[in-house]
């Protein structure tokens, strides 16, 4: 009798959950997020925030929008990434897409300390002098138009310079240079290598989070393999991350532990997403944002149309654009935060054990962002964990 009652309760609960999910997915779930005018003013007045926003906009255009047009130009459908791929721990495609623009840019609110030069390899030989560029990349397009003043991030042609240099190997470095000039931020070096043993980085994070006491291998190789997977999950990268993504993670970790305000921008040809890893002077935390191109389906289109009737924005002009195949495209931003499993414990706590099933990072919020810089509002939405109504109907019908 008890079992029957229990089964009935479970069936009722399941039906309620399904109906709740259905109502969530079919109702109007989009909301307009208007900008804080004080924050906008601060972003314009603070040289670091101004530079960060300028680089961010350029990279969104270069790695996402320009990549989309690259595929269209060659008559190849763009390989859209499903928002569900932003879920922590989700595998990424191992294939590299040659038409996808990649990037690695390190912006530092200050200068890299001398003691960290062994990890960030830059010297006079890769300073942004024209003769250095000619030696390293003589076939670089538009090199003849390069002028020394363009290196300043407030220069009208800085975006063009950034795009010209992004195809080069390794990282571009933008720093605050206090040399008496009116504008402090400039692109100082190109071809910057980030060098650090991955084992050292994994060990450092594991000790910091109290998952080992001293040695990386003190609990065996299988445990090290698990720590490596969790290391990349900490940055919302899949554990097969390599190349630019690995370099970005190593750079962000080093800057965070020195509490140096910085942003590491990374985009790869595999993931087709743009990631920001942001550090601050107040803590060792790393803030993570990821951007990707979103193919807007009929359900989301309907939600946007119904939601925006009384909004003081033009979603068709500010947030959406149409491809050659008449598909509707938007830009999705997802922000993440670390869970208790990936935060330091109290000093007197015993060494803990990694739980493979316990996530180290979770979704904080998500929104559609404008496709151009003239609009600063955003559209809040729920897409990363969204299940289409049609899928819910099929599942409900099968029950």
Question: What are the residue ranges spanned by the domains of the chain?
Answer: 1-29+387-399, 32-119+195-381
The span from the CA of 258 to the CA of 256, in Å, is: 5
Give pLDDT, residue 2: 47
- pLDDT score of 311 more than 50: yes
Residue 291, both tokens: 């951007």
The stretch 77-92 carries a mean pLDDT of 91
Q: Is 123 exposed, middle or buried (0-12, 13-18, 19+ CB in 10 A)?
A: exposed
Residue 149, both tokens: 């003043």
Give pLDDT, residue 397: 52
- Is the Cβ–Cβ distance between 274 and 265 less than 8 Å? yes
pLDDT digits (tens, 9 = 90+) for 258-292: 999 999 999 998 999 999 999 999 999 999 999 99
The span from the CA of 282 to the CA of 260, in Å, is: 9
Antiparallel, parallel or unpaired: β 361-369 and 328-338: antiparallel
Q: Which long-range contacts (CB under 8 A, 24 or more apart) does 266-269 make?
A: 266/103, 266/104, 267/59, 267/63, 267/101, 267/102, 267/103, 267/104, 268/96, 268/102, 268/243, 268/244, 269/96, 269/97, 269/98, 269/100, 269/102
pLDDT digits (tens, 9 = 90+) for 146-183: 988 999 999 999 999 999 999 998 999 999 987 756 78
Say which DSSP state 324 is in.
Answer: T
- pLDDT score of 346 more than 60: yes
pLDDT digits (tens, 9 = 90+) for 112-142: 999 999 999 999 999 999 999 999 888 887 8
Lowest mean pLDDT among 37-51, 205-219, 288-302: 37-51
For residue 137, which of 164, 103, 107, 163 has the smallest C-alpha distance?
Answer: 164
Q: Would you give the end-to-end CA distance of the chain in angstroms?
A: 23
Backbone angles phi, psi at 60, to 5 degrees: -60, -45
Global confidence as pTM: 0.89
- pLDDT score of 79 more than 60: yes
Tokens 């190849």, residue located: 76
Residue 241, both tokens: 């991350």
Backbone angles phi, psi at 251, to 5 degrees: -65, -45
């Amino acid at each position: 009798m008890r079992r029957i009652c229990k089964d009935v309760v479970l069936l009722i609960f399941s039906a309620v959950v399904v109906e709740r999910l259905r109502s969530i997915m079919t109702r109007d779930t989009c909301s307009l997020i208007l900008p804080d005018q004080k924050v906008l003013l601060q972003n314009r007045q603070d040289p670091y925030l101004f530079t960060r926003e300028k680089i961010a906009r350029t990279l969104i255009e270069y790695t996402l929008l320009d990549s989309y047009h690259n595929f269209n130009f060659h008559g190849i459908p763009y390989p859209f990434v499903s928002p569900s791929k932003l879920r922590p721990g989700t595998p990424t495609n191992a294939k590299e897409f040659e038409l996808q623009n990649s990037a690695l840019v390190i912006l530092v609110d200050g200068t890299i300390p001398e003691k960290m030069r062994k990890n960030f390899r830059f010297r006079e030989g890769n300073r942004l002098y024209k003769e250095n560029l000619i030696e390293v990349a003589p076939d670089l397009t538009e090199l003849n138009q390069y002028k020394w003043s363009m290196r300043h991030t407030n220069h009208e042609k800085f975006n063009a310079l950034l795009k010209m240099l992004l195809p080069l190997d390794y990282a571009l470095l933008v720093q605050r240079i206090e040399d008496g000039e009116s504008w402090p931020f400039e692109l100082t070096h190109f071809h910057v290598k980030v060098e650090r043993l991955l084992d050292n980085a994994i060990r450092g994070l594991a000790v910091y989070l109290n998952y080992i006491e001293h040695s990386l291998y003190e609990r065996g190789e299988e445990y090290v393999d698990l720590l490596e997977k969790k290391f990349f999950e900490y940055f919302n990268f899949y554990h097969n991350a390599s190349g630019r993504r690995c370099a970005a993670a190593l750079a962000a970790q080093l800057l965070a532990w020195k509490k140096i305000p910085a942003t590491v921008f990374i985009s790869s040809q595999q993931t087709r997403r743009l990631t920001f890893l942001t550090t601050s002077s107040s803590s060792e935390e790393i803030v993570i944002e990821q951007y990707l191109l979103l193919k807007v389906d009929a359900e989301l289109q309907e939600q946007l149309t119904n939601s925006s009737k009384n909004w003081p924005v033009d979603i068709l002009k500010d947030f959406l654009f149409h491809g050659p195949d008449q598909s509707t495209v938007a830009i999705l931003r997802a922000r993440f935060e670390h869970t208790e499993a990936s935060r330091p414990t109290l000093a007197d706590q015993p060494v803990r054990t990694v739980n493979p099933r316990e996530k180290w990072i979770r979704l904080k919020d998500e929104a559609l962002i404008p496709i151009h810089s003239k609009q600063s509002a955003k559209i809040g939405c729920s897409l990363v964990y969204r299940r289409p109504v049609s899928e819910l109907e099929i599942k409900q019908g099968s029950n």
